[in-house]
Structure 1
Amino acid sequence: MKIKLLGALIGTLMVSKLASGMETCLPPLPEPHANNAVASLTINDKLYVVSFAGLREGKTWRDTSKSAYMFIEGNRTWKKMPDIPVQEGRLAASAEAVADKIYLFGGYTVAEDGSEFSTPEVFSFDPVGQTYTRLSDMPTPVDDMVTFVYQNRYIYLVSGWHDTGNVSQVQVYDTKTDSWFRATDYPGTPVFGHAGGIVRNQFIIADGVAVVGKDDNGRRVFDTVNEGWLGTIDQNDPAIITYRKLPQLPGRGHYRMAGAGDTARNQVIFMGGTPTAYNYNGIGYNGKPAEASEHMYAWSFERNNWLLLNDRPIPSMDHRGMVQVDGNWWTIGGLDRNRAVTGAGLSEKLVVCQ
């Protein structure tokens, strides 16, 4: 009850700010979604924010979604967009903006028997025309990977899950030529559900989930990994990356937190997540419910170390990125402290728009 009252109060304050023109507010999605791919871009001085796919409230295989929603600066609500042009809903896709398009990568489907399939499709989405264009498939289909944009041209896909296991590959999509190339492999433990972001030519990758062994019945055991890596992209060759291992983030390891690079602050920001490796329904692979985190961290390139930022009042997890609005980072949707699917926009400035 206290959380709901706090959210309502802060939401009222944010509406007042919006009405006065002080700050743009991201309202809740029309339909709650977790594990949704999010991205934003500015066209003709107007901000567009888009959410693709994810998991609906029922949290079963039937509740995987191919829906898309768009928020346009100046509006008070999200607008339903055409569905992603695929047959099945998907989880753990990634979205990135380059120029006036948003690029959507992969994800995975879930069948009634629980089997999962990493999907290869890549689309560009035109926010103005509200149309999709099918592009060259991923050479190795992955989901739950980290993605980021370099030189407003190249989109990097780092590690992630491919059908039956994690990969160390760094796959790079060239938006100018609709082609792919491989960059230097990720040297850390191959993971899925990790987080990261880029500032100029340096990126940070943190944590995620790995296969750590087998149980007495021969079944794979999944657990969070507490690792941080800094990658530096060669400015003369985008396929060459040098890596340096970083100190560990505080805590046990983080899964499906949100991450993004903030050039103005010279930091990579991380929000939420959980120390529990869980299936898409929020229940851990060990049978224990996952607990969402309210923590925020940043890797400071200036200080060459981790910073512990102010907590958000409402924990959240199951994120596939975050977006920046008026210099303020937001997550959209996810799972809340009770593992319920939410459509809420949660701000780093401890505000909730309702």
Structure 2
Amino acid sequence: MMKLQITAAAILLLTGLSVTGCERRDQPEPLSETANFTLPEPIANNAVAVADGPDGLTLYSFNGLKAGKTWNDTSNAAYACVIATESCETIAPVPVPEGRLASVAATVAGKIYILGGYTVAPNGDERSTPEVFVFDPETGSYQQREDIPTPVDDALAVPYQDRFIYLISGWHDEGNVSVVQMFDTQTGAWTEATEFPGTPVFGHAGGIAGDSIIVSDGVASVFADGRRKFVAAKLTWRGDIDPKNPTQIAWRGVDAHAGLALYRMAAIGDEAGQRIIFAGGGDNPYNYNGIGYDDVPAKPSDRFFAYDLKSDSWQELGRLVEPSMDHRALAKVEEDYYILGGMDAEQKVTNRIVKFRIGK
């Protein structure tokens, strides 16, 4: 995924992607803090999920990038952070011989599914990987499941009906794909759902609440000056699922959020509030070291905001205590949202855990 970036003006010219959004509201007071516990070591681009472990509700992290930020720092490490005791420990790694970047995770029926990602060879070659593992929090063991038909990394994964997992768009070896792949955790069957109609992207973010999915931003592929380049994509799509036939998704474009497009935000659905929460993200697309394809270091955002499904509008919610980027997803435990690891304002991989709560 060696990519180049061009300017926002060129994005408009080449792709027609919208950069409009809702009017920015007055900024609320920050409602976030640095947690009293940290990951066992710095890690970024890690797949995160929440499940009920042996000691209660637990934050889990799988795979990712270690502090050195080279091909050799791709990791298969896994960590468990128990909320009740505010403590983290290293657990059995994901059973792959090489580390994985940009994999995703989703919790279904009390177990965590870890899907896809990519490997980096010493010469820089990158390969999307098809493996799916299910992690049992009670036993701490992994079981391999059916491979992803179209291996993807930097994709979006959302669970549905405590049975299905959708993998939406993402990068496959040499290009972005529009396919929406649906995994039935009960039967092990993969099915193609309604194709993602937006510009195919990687590094996008989103979530699900009820029967509705929101997908926002990411990086798109365009051709300019006779070659392919990769640009930040300022777009948001809503997908409404037919609950009687989950392969059918009615997609429609909606307003983009305020401000710049953001890459690798942390996001999750808020079922009770019927909204999708987004936090952090980088302002400049990059591969895995935090330095943009234009050689400009990416800077993380400190915003957290939401797309309200009821009103089809964006809400500004607050500011993170520390800007953060290079994430796969948010984790939620009761009323608190957690960001595990990532990169800071100096593109340094961190073991920090940031949590925030959304005001009523």
CA distance in 2, matches of 1:235, 1:132: 30
Please say if 1:103 is aligned against 2:113.
yes
1:1-354 matched pairs, under 5 angstroms: 27-42=37-52, 46-215=56-225, 218=227, 220-349=228-357
Partner of 1:20: none
8 Å CA contact 2:55–2:82 kept in 1: the answer is no
* Equivalent residue letter for 1:337: A
Give per-residue Cα distances to partners, 1:279-320, cap 9 Å, x unaligned: 100000111110100111200122220111211121000001
Q: CA RMSD in A?
A: 1.7
Pair 40,247 (structure 1): closer, same or farther in 2 beyond 3 Å: same
Deviation at residue 96 of structure 1 after TM alignment: 0.6
Aligned partner of residue 109 in structure 1, secondary structure: strand
The answer to whether the Cα contact below 8 Å between 1:144 and 1:194 also exists between their aligned partners in 2 is: yes
Deviation at 1:45, TM superposition (A): 8.8
The answer as to whether partners of 1:117 and 1:163 remain within 8 angstroms in 2 is yes
SS at match of 1:139: coil
Segments of structure 1 that go 5 or more residues without pairing to the other structure are 1-8, 16-26
Question: How many angstroms apart in 1 are the aligned matches of 2:122 and 2:45?
Answer: 19
Aligned-partner residue type, residue 133 of structure 2: F
SS where residue 72 of structure 2 aligns? helix
| Cα deviation code 1:92-118 (max 9, x no counterpart) | 000111112100001000111111000
Structure 2 stretches lacking a partner, 5+ long = 1-31
Question: 1: CA distance between counterparts of 2:55 and 2:312?
Answer: 34
The change in CA–CA distance for 1:274 and 1:155 in structure 2 (over 3 A counts) is: same
Which string of whole-angstrom CA distances, capped at 9 and with x for unpartnered residues, describes residues 161-205 of structure 1?
000000000000101001110000000000000000001100100
State the identity as a percent. Answer: 46
Q: What is the rounded CA distance, in whole Å, between the counterparts of 1:302 and 1:10 in structure 2?
A: 29
Partner SS for 1:238? strand
User: Could you tell me whether the CA contact under 8 Å between 1:201 and 1:234 is conserved in 2?
Assistant: yes
- Residues in 1 aligned to 2:104 and 2:86: alpha-carbon distance in whole angstroms: 25
> How big is the shift at 1:79?
1.7
Whole-angstrom distance in 2 between the partners of 1:58 and 1:135: 31
- 2:100 corresponds to which letter in structure 1? R
- Length-normalised TM-score, structure 2: 0.88
- Indicate conservation of the 8 Å contact 1:312/1:349, yes or no: no
Moved beyond 3 Å, runs of 4+: none
TM-score of the pair, normalised by structure 1: 0.89
Secondary structure, in 3 states, of the residue corresponding to 1:277? coil
> CA separation of 1:162/1:74 partners in 2, compared to 1, >3 Å: closer, same or farther?
same
Q: Could you tell me whether the CA contact under 8 Å between 1:95 and 1:104 is conserved in 2?
A: yes
User: Which SS does the other structure have where 1:62 is aligned?
Assistant: helix
Count of equivalent residues: 327
Which amino acid is the alignment partner of residue 148 of structure 1?
V
Distance 2:323 2:33 in 1: 15
Give distance in 1, aligned partners of 2:221 and 2:76.
28
